[in-house]
Amino acid sequence: MHEFDAHACEMALTMAESVRGTTSPNPAVGAVVVRNGHIIATGATQPPGHAHAERVALAQAGAAARGADLYVTLEPCTFQGRTPACTDAIIESGIRHVYYMVNDRDPRMGVGAAATLATHGIGCSQIRYDDARVADTLAPFFMRLTRQRPYMTLKYAMSLDGKIATQSGISQWISGSTSRMRVHQMRAQVDAVLTASGTALHDNPQLTVRLDTPLERAQPTRVLFDSRGRTPITHHMFNTTHAATIVVCTEQASQTWVNQVKAQGVVVIQQAHHGQVTLHDALSQLATRGINHCLVEAGSTFVGALNDAHLIDEIHAFIAPGVIGHHHAPGPIAGKGINTLTNWHQYVIRSATMSGEDVHIHAIHHHAIQLQQLLLEGKETCSPVS
């Protein structure tokens, strides 16, 4: 274990977290330059086509980077993508030593940053620091590289007795204002907000970020799964003035409806079969469009289908202090379910906190944690990033 500056690591992670949802298809990465025990520059990955975190921090440091140390949450890239290799900028800057937290498993990395920098007399060491936070920031990027689909976060609000609506379908509002504001903050940190036709028809949601302070980035893309093209084109989802929309449908959707939707500026992914949308294929197509992270805000039927297909990676559940009752009132997840508890979908509760009068539970599925661990240990193979 190399000696390293924990304060610098903390700042690098904070910088990475500050740009979540703005960097796809690239990962959210943070970097800091340290000289004589003091942080002299910070950087975070910019939107696609712009500078990576290392280049931002080195540009801010300028000539003071010579002889300093660089801390970064992900191994610096060694190859030319949309932007030049970060190792080139490190070499030119005169940095003395690079400390990074996670190996970049992109096959284009070649011999890796350490070997590349060593030929120029620059030290490069992998360090372990707050693995859970590091994994959280990089999980969406790695999920797309290794599984060719976005990282899927499910959000729902429910009563103490596990209901997301009354028997007549009324759901506004189960959670309190504090929880609803947290949801807007969550939307601001993802690439896309995903729903299905049942929710679109019943609630006519906007699925945009609406915060007290202006959003200093593009709105997340809205993704609507509507197999048969039932959602009226007058609904909020099809107003693309401030936020883009992608519709996933099948050939059951009429060509008239498809043409009308396209005329609104909506991107249509139409699968060539007459049944329900094939979830894995649809998510794979979202991944090819550079979407790393989806927030799911949908009804129990669609969420149940995702759950049955093992496509939920984490859950944010907001539990309100009230009881709805009635056996026809829906819960958050339907689908086929399971018959015994030996094979249930098991999660690890990462946190349980108060959200106003509600309880906010954040849980991560075992398969997502296992993937993160493999990546932290450098044992997972990735496909090239598009």
CB neighbours of residue 263 within 10 Å: 10
* Contact between 256 and 105 (Cβ < 8 Å): no
Gap between the Cα atoms of 97 and 236, Å rounded: 51
| pLDDT over 80 at 215, yes or no | no
Gap between the Cα atoms of 150 and 290, Å rounded: 9
| pLDDT over 70 at 104, yes or no | yes
Tokens of 192: 């896309």
Confidence category of residue 376, pLDDT binned at 50, 70, 90:
confident
| pLDDT over 90 at 19, yes or no | yes
Please write the tens of the pLDDT for every residue from 107-135: 788 888 999 999 999 999 999 888 888 98
* Contact between 317 and 361 (Cβ < 8 Å): yes
| Phi and psi, residue 251, nearest 5° | -70, -5
Q: What percent of the chain has pLDDT over 70?
A: 97
Confidence category of residue 1, pLDDT binned at 50, 70, 90:
very low
Average pLDDT, the chain: 91
Confidence category of residue 379, pLDDT binned at 50, 70, 90:
low
Q: What percent of the chain has pLDDT over 90?
A: 72
Please write the tens of the pLDDT for every residue from 73-102: 999 999 887 888 999 999 999 999 999 999
Residue with tokens 């280049």: 55
Gap between the Cα atoms of 237 and 232, Å rounded: 9
Catalytic residues: 54
What element of type H or E holds 154?
strand 151-158
| Phi and psi, residue 211, nearest 5° | -115, 165
What dihedral do alpha carbons 236, 242, 244, 245 form, nearest 10°?
0
Top-confidence residue, 275 or 183: 183
- pLDDT for 3 equals 65
> Any idea how long the chain is?
386
Confidence category of residue 302, pLDDT binned at 50, 70, 90:
very high
DSSP string, 293-359: EEEE---HHHHHHHHHTT---EEEEEE-S-----TTS--S--SS--SSGGG---EEEEEEEEETTEE
* Contact between 294 and 192 (Cβ < 8 Å): yes
Confidence category of residue 213, pLDDT binned at 50, 70, 90:
confident
| pLDDT over 50 at 385, yes or no | no
- pLDDT for 380 equals 56
- pLDDT for 382 equals 57
Tokens of 278: 């094939």
3-class DSSP assignment, residue 202: helix
CB neighbours of residue 218 within 10 Å: 14
What dihedral do alpha carbons 257, 261, 262, 268 form, nearest 10°?
-90
* 32, β-bridge pairs: 42, 71
Average pLDDT over residues 209-222: 85
Average pLDDT over residues 16-39: 94
| pLDDT over 60 at 291, yes or no | yes
- pLDDT for 49 equals 87
| Phi and psi, residue 255, nearest 5° | -65, -30
| pLDDT over 70 at 378, yes or no | no
